[in-house]
A and B are shown apart, each in its own frame.
Chain A
């Protein structure tokens, strides 16, 4: 049992727990599962009095839950790495721990921030919660997540990885 927890978790166990996040969050907080909205919340909090409707029309008080959720994920990552893992976890490959790696991460990060906000969600809000609720635009979004990911991996990837 302890060994099961300390090793990387199998797909079926992980999948069930990922899926349960949706009802857990609805039941305990009343909020729909989604993570990229936290970026908008941080933007709105950093820009008080902004004339941009993206920030001024955003409900920052309710949006606070997204930052709390994100903070929780940071703490969860710490607990899992420090206390629940038998071996150390290689988050990023060696090649990313360099100046070139930092440039790639920054560029990729910009694509994530811009893309998720433009699409209105990421893997959690669109792929998992959206498809689970049979929301067809979320299925379209998920298909294009893979169009972008496969396009980079099989196309440009040869130059960047």
Chain B
């Protein structure tokens, strides 16, 4: 089974990349199960590292502590070395597919949307991953954050064609 995808946001950024509905490739049950398991792993890491706490995010933006900066920094470093190894050793997925990074393109939304997201991150103390982890951890108020995020996504879907790109 193939899992070549263009799931990312770039789809709508570059029309040439759009996969027509008729040519949709399916994703295997194994890949979906693995997605769930890696999600569990990542949810545990987010929670135990305290990235999910509003206070940690606030202290990052207040420059009170380096905790968050160090986690993101080490994370980028480890991911970078991993990508170099994957490329140089031509590592394949467990289903034998090549591993290819799909670059995200630059457009005005990277600046405007990026700034909006940063503001939301500071207010709610959560980026998208931590919203899900907070809900799982029993912080029910995070359901309001998720409702807001879905509302924001629907809003974007409706006004997308009128936004600077």
For chain A, the count of residues having a C-beta within 8 Å of the partner chain is 128
Collect the chain A residues with CB atoms within 8 Å of residue B88's CB. none
For chain B, the count of residues having a C-beta within 8 Å of the partner chain is 127
Within 8 A of B (CB), among A8-23: 8-9, 11-23
**Complex partner residue of A76 from B4, B35, B136, B152, CB under 8 angstroms:** B136
B38 near A55 with CB under 8 A, answer no
Chain A at the B interface: SS class: helix
B149 near A112 with CB under 8 A, answer yes
A61 near B26 with CB under 8 A, answer yes
Collect the chain A residues with CB atoms within 8 Å of residue B151's CB. 106, 109-110, 113
Binary per-residue interface labels of chain A (83-111) against chain B in the complex, 1 for a CB within 8 Å, 0 otherwise: 01100011111001100011011111111
Min C-beta distance of B51 to chain A, whole Å = 7
Q: Which residue of B lies closest to A15 (CB)?
A: B74
B43 near A109 with CB under 8 A, answer no
Chain B at the A interface: SS class: helix
B137 near A157 with CB under 8 A, answer no
A29 near B93 with CB under 8 A, answer yes
B58 near A161 with CB under 8 A, answer yes
Q: Which residue of A lies closest to B146 (CB)?
A: A109
CA distance A152 to B62 in the complex (A): 10
CA distance A52 to B162 in the complex (A): 12
B32 near A65 with CB under 8 A, answer yes
Collect the chain B residues with CB atoms within 8 Å of residue A57's CB. 11-12, 18, 21
Q: Which residue of A lies closest to B41 (CB)?
A: A76
**Complex partner residue of A109 from B39, B61, B145, CB under 8 angstroms:** B145
Collect the chain A residues with CB atoms within 8 Å of residue B45's CB. 9, 14, 17-18, 21, 76
Binary per-residue interface labels of chain B (60-93) against chain A in the complex, 1 for a CB within 8 Å, 0 otherwise: 0110001100111111111110110110000101
Collect the chain B residues with CB atoms within 8 Å of residue A126's CB. 104, 114
- Highest count of chain A CB atoms <10 Å: which of B67, B78, B91, B93: B78
Min C-beta distance of A56 to chain B, whole Å = 7
- Highest count of chain B CB atoms <10 Å: which of A93, A145, A147: A145
A91 near B139 with CB under 8 A, answer yes
B25 near A148 with CB under 8 A, answer no
A80 near B43 with CB under 8 A, answer yes
B94 near A112 with CB under 8 A, answer no
Within 8 A of A (CB), among B131-165: 131-139, 141-142, 144-158, 160-161, 163
A54 and B91 contact, Cβ closer than 8 Å, known pairs A97-B141, A115-B115, A118-B113: no
Closest 10 CB pairs of A and B: A72-B39, A76-B43, A109-B148, A113-B152, A15-B74, A148-B118, A19-B78, A118-B113, A77-B136, A111-B120
Known: A22-B79, A106-B151, A149-B61. 14 other contacts (CB 8 A): A19-B79, A28-B31, A35-B128, A37-B7, A65-B31, A76-B39, A76-B46, A76-B133, A79-B44, A108-B123, A113-B150, A120-B9, A135-B103, A152-B119
